Amino acid sequence: MSGLEIERKFLVKNNDYKRLATSSTRISQGYICSHRGRTVRVRIRDGRGYLTIKGPSDIGGLARYEFEKEISLDEAQHLMDICEPGKIDKTRYLVPSGKHTFEVDEFYGENEGLVMAEVELSSEDETFIKPDFIGQEVTGDRRYYNSCLLKNPFTSWNATTKSASQEQQPE
């Protein structure tokens, strides 16, 4: 997949996504480059490797260019060895909602306790059905970018920061 990626991100407020999920998979990923405005990611998922390059996000953090290419598992494992320190370890659940599928990531390790959902859209103003487990929107909040979670993991956030970021949206 290559092209413009348009997505919205949300915190997850309960575990209902697990019973609604049609599938789940464990993901390990590292970053060769995680500078603001560009990232180069290596991912291993379901015994397959992927190399992804992402450009800078627009002002609202909703859209950015993404290039992704499948690579061999051997190549991915070797590239993981030259990644920046730290890895992202998570399980991704796919949860259908209307004509969209939410990708819900449950993090482990230094990001234990963080659960986020994202939905990819075909346009910035596209409407979608929000499942009941969806909480506060965090689209554009850089703290929640996977590349930023390497440098400032969720478990290192202080209690005030965590509670402020996890406040529930009004229904």
Instruction: Return the active site residues.
Output: 31
CA distances from 103 to 11, 56, 74, 83, 142 (A): 12, 21, 26, 24, 18
Which of 139, 125, 3, 145 minimizes the C-alpha distance to 64? Answer: 3
Helix (H), strand (E) at residue 53:
strand 48-54
* Residue length of the chain: 171
